[in-house]
Amino acid sequence: MQVSLLATGGTISTKPHESGATPELEAESLASSAQLAGKAVSIRARDVARISSRSVTPQTMWALAKAVEDEIRCGSDGIIITHGTDTLEETAYALSLLLQTPVPVVLTGAMRVPASPGADGPANLAAAAAVATTPLFAAYGPVVVHQDEIHLARWVTKFHSTHVAAFESPSAGPIGLVVEGKAVPLAGPLPSPRLTRVCAPDKRVELLWAAAGSDGVLVNAIRDQIDGLVVAGLGGGHVPPPLAEALVSTVSAGIPVVLASRCPNPMVLDSTYGGVGGEIHLLKSGLVSAGNLSAIKARLKLIFGLSAGLTGNDLFGSEG
């Protein structure tokens, strides 16, 4: 089999320095850990970036999607992407919006720097290779493999900031496991979230977190500078009344506003709570529901969708 390893940087590629670890290892240096016992696998290694994931942008994600498509056109049977863990879930979801995946596409990373005791990068790379060389996982779209668990891009999130087992899928759990070097599915694939049209991102969408006492100061300050807004609301999609008024004014100005939930296991209601700032008021006033999509992933969907000429209703009409 021919597998491509696309490296973007992150902890898995760092070297220690007095000032702190920085991404420096090339893709070729990581490829040896992706070799599988008992499988004849040829690995083509390529550096797409060498940055910390805090520096990843939607433009980086677009470039990575193009690199994946290039590798598939060149005959790769599977794609492994190494990535920093801080924004790995965002890149995975962006790729699921942008790509058709006739081969498995697997993202992985590490929580411990390579020079530390018990570094987890090599084991995660080996597990990623097991999934990337199992053709049936192409149907799942891009997945995240970490600590022998296989997570769907839509659900996965970095749940722990320091634990080695950092990733979880609160809404559904992992969709597969890696056992004895073999990728084992636990649940069938879901319909692809891929956008109907894709192009390079050129829209600015901000994310606002609602909290007790939030008002409209931030929304009013940025309204003239944004193309869209996602608000991570309280509970089932609620915001304080002063913030609600600013959000409705934003929609009235022609700027799409997506209502998500800030809960780790999110679900926006549509017909339970009344009053200003309740989900009934907000949705009737023109906000669109992110349904059970997390706020950070709803932001990416809005960025890439607006950039491709789609509307908020086009993008989220089936989410609620």
Hey, what are 301's tokens? 């969907």
Q: Which H, E and C letters describe 277-298, residue by residue?
A: CCHHHHHHCCCEECCCCCHHHH
The C-alpha atoms of residue 307 and residue 320 are separated, in whole angstroms, by 22
* Active-site residue, selected from the candidate residues 11, 82, 85, 250: 11
Which contiguous run of DSSP H or E holds residue 229?
strand 228-233
The C-alpha atoms of residue 132 and residue 119 are separated, in whole angstroms, by 21
Could you count the other beta carbons within 10 Å of the beta carbon of residue 123? Answer: 18
- CA distances to 35, 242, 299 from 306, in Å: 40, 27, 10
Angle (CA) 107-112-115 rounded to 5° is 120
- CA distances to 34, 130, 160, 178, 196 from 39, in Å: 11, 9, 33, 15, 36
The C-alpha atoms of residue 175 and residue 149 are separated, in whole angstroms, by 8
SS3 231: strand
SS3 215: coil
Verify whether residue 101 is a known catalytic residue.
no
Active site residues: 11
